[in-house]
Amino acid sequence: MDQTMTQAASSQDPSRGEPLVAVRNLTKRFPITKGIVLQKEVARVHAVEDVSFEVYPGETLGLVGESGCGKSTTARLLLKLIDATSGNIFFEGTNITKLKRREMRPYRREMQMIFQDPYASLNPRKTVGSIIGAPFTIHKTEGEVKKRVQDLMDRVGMNPEHYNRFPHEFSGGQRQRIGVARALALRPKLIVCDEPVSALDVSIQAQILNLLEDLQDEFKLTYVFISHDLGVVRHISDRIAVMYLGHVVEVAAADELYQNPKHPYTAALLSAVPKGHTDTDLTQRVVLTGDVPSPIDPPSGCVFHPRCPKAREVAGSAGSVPENCRTEFPPLGEVSRSHLCACWYPLKEGESLQKAAHA
Amino acid sequence: MAQSASDFLQGPSQPGGGPEAEGPGVVARTPRQLFWRRFKEDRLALFGGFLVVFMITVALAAPVVESIVGHPYDEQYRDIGTNAFGSPNPPTGSFIFGFDDLGRDILVRTMYGARVSLTIAIVATGVELVIGVFLGILAGFMRGWVDTIVSRFIDLILSIPFLLLGIALSVTDFLGGGEKLIIFIIAFFGWPYIARIVRGQTLSLREAQFVEAAYSVGAPTRWIMFREILPNLLAPILIYGTLIIPQNIVGEAALSFLGVGIQQPTAAWGQMLAAATPYVALGKAWWFMLYPGLALFITVLGFNLLGDGLRDALDPKTGR
């Protein structure tokens, strides 16, 4: 095992054994270039900044955050679909960050992805059979491809006789089943689900989520589940990591996070979830002021400080924030058992941000 | 709060459900069956196909007809075929299409001309497609310096005048002249158009999510270029391919009209039209120009109609 993994694994939970995937200080910055011939780099989009977390075998790690906070970039970095600017990714203890495409191929069998858009992620010119069968053909596995593909189709709830149909002949839900079958084909250990149900009807979402849960039990799968739908994430995740502007700001067990958020951003995010029938809850909503800052020029210190109600409360006046919030990014540290939070002034149990915002 | 959402999400699971769940009577159809079903219903395409098959039959039957009527394509019947002024004579007896300026049978020569036209056009189109598609995918997918080299090479070729190079090469001994030379000239100037189209399509297809999905299952570059992107190029390739066949037939006719490539006594439509021009311009010998011209027209029309029909039937998204 690479030394840096154990060193940096401050948040590692010894009771859960070796993590399947460990991400250490992962950073991705996309250059913005100007000019056609001499492409001068004028700025960088800070898509993912110094992100560390681990995923344990058999669990589902939810990754939530607003659009553009770096969830999908993190997923693509995990699967090495794009290369990281810096940081490391360990899969079962092996550092896969620097592996070349050819060297990466054996690991591709172990980690798969389910994509958000069930329309764009299936080649419109290939039959369902050849889409699901592609992993077998690429990895030259033994056995008859057609039989195995039809078994998979049956397993994900499709009619195996539709083997020769094209993706456009299916509805969104059925297409997403094709995507699930493709991801499942090589019996991977890890499946990264990038908003797998966001493009679907609510009734179909439930079917796909149930299918994913059934498959997890049956094949002992580990999921990284990305979504901006907090209800869906809570339903399916064991642990949840919250991202804001490229940073992971809080990690905790699902129920713990929802009941006892420590980071002011998490609290604000959760308060935005519609709460069913009562409208009395509306008064408890924490409305953040301003927009998410540009990832091209992120704020100094804690990236949340310009919008943070808690920081205002600590500083004591509406216009100012504490010095350390402005100058230094708080480390992602354990605030209680297995509950990590990157905040200089985490919320106490039962503390309401509502009060903080009005104080 | 979120609990209510998750309760809701635990709705009834319906494996195999969804709108597509159909009874046991549904049979899976292969793509070919689907294509054929659509194609059969397209009457214009069937007519185009009929014309193409007809012209191919004409080309194949040329020697047979030649022996039936008993007039070799290069035999000059000057005594009955041309009048006292040297003008060709109109259709008579077994010379149902009339004579050309050297007293040869226009029926037999037009049929032999079909052989030359179809062979050259189809071979040249095939060569163009192979080169154009390969370099287009390569340039669009690899980008960077590969793209720069291919694109600049295309610009270079397109800046050379087509007919002038043809005429210039025809006086040299390049490729021994004849059909090979014409195929070379047509293919050399034709592939850049295909390569440009394919390159553009590849540039956008390489960013498609299904390409990313192929990466994530570990597909090598070769697989992505030829198994993921190429099938999506089928429609444009087919559309331009079928537009190019008639274009190449016309191109071949133009070159042989100018005397490039096909030399006497071999018959080619363009060359026959060229020979007919002075007579028709004087209002004489309409048959000399009509029959090769008609053959050219039927062939071009047939391939165009067939191409349109193939496109409609092969594109699963084309609603009818």
| pLDDT tens digits, one per residue of A128-145 | 999 999 999 998 887 888
- Please give the structure tokens belonging to residue A301: 């210190």
Interface of B with A in 225-284 (CB under 8 A): 227-228, 231-232, 234
| Lowest-pLDDT range of A54-63, A217-226, B35-44, B180-189 | B35-44
Considering only CB atoms, which chain A residues are within 8 Å of B212? 76, 81, 115, 121
Provide, as residue numbers in chain B, all residues whose Cβ is less than 8 Å from the Cβ of A64. Answer: none
Residue A174, classified by CB atoms within 10 Å of its CB into exposed (0-12), middle (13-18) or buried (19+), is buried
A39 contacts in chain B (CB < 8 Å): none
Query: What's the pLDDT score for residue B73?
Result: 83
Lowest-confidence segment of A255-269, B26-40, B94-108, B178-192 by average pLDDT: B26-40
Could A157 and B17 be called an inter-chain contact, meaning their C-beta atoms sit closer than 8 Å? yes
Cis peptide before B265 (omega within 30 of 0): yes
B99: CB partners within 8 A, 6+ apart: B77, B80, B81, B82, B88, B89, B105, B106, B288
B222 touches chain A (CB under 8 A): no
**Is CATH 3.30.70.3270 correct for A3-57+69-106+232-358?**
no
Task: Report whether B194 contacts B186 (CB < 8 A).
Answer: no
Task: Give the pLDDT mean for A338-353.
Answer: 82
Q: How confident is the model at residue B175 (pLDDT cuts 50, 70, 90)?
A: confident
- Among A124, A96, A82, A105, which residue's Cα sits nearest to residue A23? A96
Mean pLDDT of A82-106: 90
Q: If you measure CA to CA, which chain B residue comes closest to A127?
A: B31
Q: Tell me what pLDDT residue A218 has.
A: 93
3-state secondary structure chain B: CHHHHHHHHCCCCCCCCCCCCCCCCCCCCCHHHHHHHHHHCCHHHHHHHHHHHHHHHHHHHHHHHHHHHCCCCCCCCHHHHECCCCCECCCECCECCCECCCCCEHHHHHHHHHHHHHHHHHHHHHHHHHHHHHHHHHHHHHCHHHHHHHHHHHHHHHCCCHHHHHHHHHCCCHHHCHHHHHHHHHHHHHHHHHHHHHHHHHHHHCCCHHHHHHHHCCCCHHHHHHHHHHHHHHHHHHHHHHHHHHHHHHHHHHHHHCCCCCCCCCCCHHHHHHHHHHHHHCCCCHHHHHHHHHHHHHHHHHHHHHHHHHHHHHCCCCCC
Range in A8-17, A154-163, B145-154 the model is least confident about:
A8-17
Check: CB of residue B81 under 8 Å from CB of residue B88: yes
B46: Cβ–Cβ under 8 A, 6 or more apart, which residues? B39, B40, B309
Cα separations in angstroms, B213 against A179, A191, B206, B224: 9, 13, 11, 10
Chain B residues within an 8 Å CB radius of A134: 214, 217, 219, 227
Mean pLDDT within B236-249? 84
Q: Which residue is it, tokens 């009929």? A: B50
* A298: nearest Cα among A71, A29, A34, A67: A29
| Per-residue pLDDT at A359 exceeds 50 | no
Q: A319 at the B interface (CB within 8 A)?
A: no
Shortest distance, CA B229 to any CA of chain A (angstroms): 9
CB A256 within 8 A of CB A207: no
Mean pLDDT to the nearest integer, B217-237: 89
Q: What percent of chain B has pLDDT over 90?
A: 33
**Structure confidence at residue A318 (pLDDT):** 65
Percent of chain A with pLDDT over 70: 89
Query: What residue type is assigned to position A120 of the chain?
Result: A
Residues sharing a CB contact under 8 Å with residue A199, sequence separation 6 or more, in sequence order: A116, A117, A118, A119, A172, A176
B198-205: average pLDDT = 93
Residues 6+ apart with CB under 8 A from A359: A313
The residue ranges of every structural domain in chain B are 36-314
Using CB atoms and an 8 Å cut-off, which of residues 20-49 of chain B contact chain A? 20-22, 26-31
Cα Rg for chain A, rounded, in angstroms? 22
pLDDT above 80: residue A24 = yes
**B232 with A124: Cβ contact below 8 A:** yes
| A179 and A122 Cβ atoms separated by less than 8 Å | yes
User: In whole angstroms, how far apart are CA A347 and each of A187, A258, A262, A333, B245?
Assistant: 42, 13, 5, 14, 74
CA-based nearest distance A234→chain B, Å: 7
pLDDT per position as a tens digit, A149-196: 999 999 999 999 999 888 888 988 999 999 999 999 999 999 999 999
Are A182 and B217 contacting, i.e. CB atoms less than 8 angstroms apart?
yes
Residues 174-203 of B with CB under 8 A from A: none
pLDDT value at residue A174: 92
Q: Give the pLDDT confidence score for residue A354 in this predicted structure.
A: 58
φ and ψ of A89, to 5 deg: -125, 130
Contacts of A258 in chain B (CB under 8 A): 1-2
Position B13 scores a pLDDT of: 38
pLDDT for res A6: 45
Rounded to an integer, the average pLDDT of B47-58 is 93
Q: Write down the pLDDT at residue B29.
A: 63
Alpha helices by DSSP H, listed for chain A, are 3-8, 71-78, 101-108, 128-138, 145-155, 172-184, 202-219, 230-236, 254-259, 264-271, 309-315, 323-327, 353-358
Sorting pLDDT into bands at 50, 70 and 90, what band is B6? very low
pLDDT for position B91: 79
B22 has a pLDDT exceeding 50? no
ipTM of the complex: 0.84
Q: Do B20 and A171 touch (CB under 8 A)?
A: yes
A59 is written with which tokens?
Answer: 């669990």
Mean residue pLDDT of chain B comes to 82
CATH, range B36-314? 1.10.3720.10
Average of per-residue pLDDT values in chain A? 85
Lowest mean pLDDT among A316-320, B58-62, B203-207, B300-304: A316-320
